[in-house]
């Protein structure tokens, strides 16, 4: 198998790993919610909410989740590649 195919398969496998998704849920959603509270909280407290504020409040946790999901998957792939390299030595 070519290395690029191996790496692509590892990425696909990483996105099927429970630990990757759990890390994204724990860290990504919590940080995203905190970011939404900091950035849009004043609008919510003043009851000055419109469609844009609602959209930003929903999108912020999704961005955090996506960032951590890809980061956790990349870490999983890197760790798996390193383990396979050490086993082949």
The total number of residues shown for the chain amounts to 89
| Distance, CA of 10 to CA of 5 (rounded, Å) | 9
List pLDDT tens digits, range 9-23: 999 999 999 999 999
Q: Is residue 48 part of a domain?
A: yes
> How many structural domains compose the chain?
1
Q: Which domain does 71 fall in, by range?
A: 24-84
Q: Is residue 50 part of a domain?
A: yes
The percent helix, strand, coil of the chain (3-state, each to 5) is: 90, 0, 10
Q: Is residue 79 part of a domain?
A: yes
Q: Is residue 67 part of a domain?
A: yes
Q: 81-89: long-range contacts (C-beta < 8 A, 24 or more apart)?
A: 81/7, 81/10
Q: Is residue 76 part of a domain?
A: yes
Query: What pLDDT score was predicted for residue 6?
Result: 85
The tokens for 81 are 């590649």
Q: Is residue 89 part of a domain?
A: no
The tokens for 15 are 């996105």
Q: What is the pTM of this model?
A: 0.83
């Amino acid at each position: 198998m070519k290395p690029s195919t191996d790496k692509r398969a590892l990425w696909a496998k990483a996105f099927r790993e429970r630990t990757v998704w759990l890390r994204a849920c724990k860290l990504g959603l919590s940080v995203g919610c905190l970011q939404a509270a900091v950035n849009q909280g004043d609008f919510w407290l003043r009851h000055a909410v419109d469609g844009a504020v609602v959209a930003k409040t929903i999108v912020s946790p999704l961005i955090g989740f996506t960032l951590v999901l890809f980061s956790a998957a990349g870490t999983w792939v890197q760790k798996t590649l390193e383990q396979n390299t050490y086993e082949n030595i």
